[in-house]
Structure 1
């Protein structure tokens, strides 16, 4: 993951420099905002890859002396069933309807949506890996 972190870090630097130059020279806020968002997304992916590299170390794909068998084993963990995707979908639906009917319904939907996303993200946090 080290190579991926460096690659996306370079992309983030490119978009950051582009946003700074574009914002200074053009004065147009929409394009500047898009470039800043692109910078943030690339920086987030770079950060994720760097954290994974620090946690797990080098992968067999990163080593030149690795054999095919080094990368074998269980590919991923797939849970049998989970209520969190349904709760997340319900929260998103209520939030979308809340855009039409009022702020109070939107805030309820966002609360349910946040709970669903956090439930999915941390459902197996203590599993190890």
Structure 2
């Protein structure tokens, strides 16, 4: 997951730089907002991949001399149930509603969304 984290981190940095330059030169709030959202999405994926790499280490696919048998065994842990996807969906819905109705609702939704994403990432961190 280290390669994927670095790849999406690079994409996120590209979108961040592009957003700054585009915002300064064009003064177009719509395009700037779209680039900031693209940066945020790439940053979330990069953060997730980094946490997976820190938690699990290198995969057999990352090793140059790996055999097919090195990838044998249980593939992944799948949680039986979780409430964090519901919290994340609620946070996204409130954030999107906040874009229409006001900054105060947007910020509340952003907080709920951030807690939902962090809950998903760190739900089984001690496992």
TM-score normalised per structure 1 = 0.64
Once the two structures are TM-superposed, the CA of residue 76 in structure 1 deviates from its matched residue by 2.6
- Aligned twin of 2:3: 3
State how far apart, in whole Å, the 2-side matches of 1:6 and 1:84 are: 29
Aligned to 2:100: none
Check the 8 A contact 2:55/2:125 in 1, yes or no. no
**Which is greater in Rg?**
1
Aligned to 2:86: 88
User: How far 1:70 sits from its partner (Å)?
Assistant: 0.7
Q: What is the CA distance between 1:13 and its match in structure 2?
A: 1.0
Between the aligned partners of 1:36 and 1:79, the Cα distance in structure 2 is 32
Structure 1 pair 4/16, CA: closer, same or farther in 2 (3 Å)? same
Residues 10-36 of structure 1 show CA distances to partners (whole Å, capped at 9, x for unaligned) of: 101110111001100110111101100
Moved more, 68-77 or 34-43: 68-77
Q: CA deviation at 1:126?
A: 7.2
| CA offset digits 1:19-59 (Å, max 9, x no partner) | 00110011011110110010011111112111221221111
- In structure 1, stretches of 5+ residues that fail to align are 100-109
CA distance, structure 1, for counterparts of residue 27 and residue 8 of structure 2: 27
> Structure 1, residues 56-99: CA drift from partner, whole Å, max 9, x if none?
1111000011111111111233455x4849x939x95xx79xx7
Distance across 1 between alignment mates of 2:2 and 2:125:
25
Give aligned pairs, total: 106
